Structure 1
Amino acid sequence: MRAVPRDWFLPDMRGARVLGPSSGGGQQMPLFAAMGAVCTVLDYSERQIASERMVAEREGYEIRCVRADMTRPLLFEDGEFDLIFHLVSNCYAEDVLPIWRECFCVLAPGGRLLVGLDNGFNYVVDDEERVVRGLPFNPLRDPSLIPEDELGIPTF
């Protein structure tokens, strides 16, 4: 693993408007908030949103949390964000083109879109690096691939 080069981000994050689509859970936005950014997280999962709010309260920063599906039209203003930090959550979408179109609309001129991609190979092996399934990995077409906790709740 390598860190994202600093110059890929905005030169000054103070006051930058940052969107994290499907990035709830309190992992990335605290870092942007610590740099002075104004953060918005969008996530479909109520559990991820709750976790995001818990971290924000614990660490003492403000965050706007929006529960929505990133594959649907976003309810933000055109040009509302200076940076969109979109991790590998796009690997859960069957068609990323609508996501990219929406990002284009809500990204300010000169803004930046940073995206993590996944080729699915992470799902081929288990924690012991044994091959356990083939590709393509698509839990939308095969619900048996959705991991669940001991209560039967999906852990995605």
Structure 2
Amino acid sequence: MCKIFDCSRMDDITFVSPNANEFREMVKRAGIDLNPSVLTSPRHVCDFVCSNPQLMYNLDMLIVTLAAQGTAIISRDENGSLRSSSLPPPLTSDKVLSVSGAGDSLNSGILAALAYRLPLEKCLQVGQRCAALTLQTVEAVSPQISSELLRI
């Protein structure tokens, strides 16, 4: 079994959602220097990736989760140009019971919405809602997550 960034199948990967540590490794493997301050905000990550487009390689979408700082989203438009946006944290820290599973819930919500061919903005809303629900439970995935969330 190969690690994702060591894999000979990298050309087949079009969607990646690393956390801050995984993103740091991705950048390192690309041979690019990363100032730690980049990881202090989603906007900084977006600007960094757009300034280093080789990081997108064959990707259509890169979503970098930065825990309490929020999420950076970089994607390609229909012409192949990069566009970026960011999301705030799904909840304020005083409402968080556990962070376990929140990133997976975010990704699952986004991927489910993409599979239903919802617009990207709606996909991000679904992912945020899934992450927020999981952050409010001690379960690895909130039992409140259902297909009803696709109706956002």
Question: Please, what TM-score do these two structures have when normalized by structure 1?
Answer: 0.29
The structure richer in strand per residue is 1
Question: Please, what TM-score do these two structures have when normalized by structure 2?
Answer: 0.29
The structure richer in helix per residue is 2
Greater gyration radius = 1
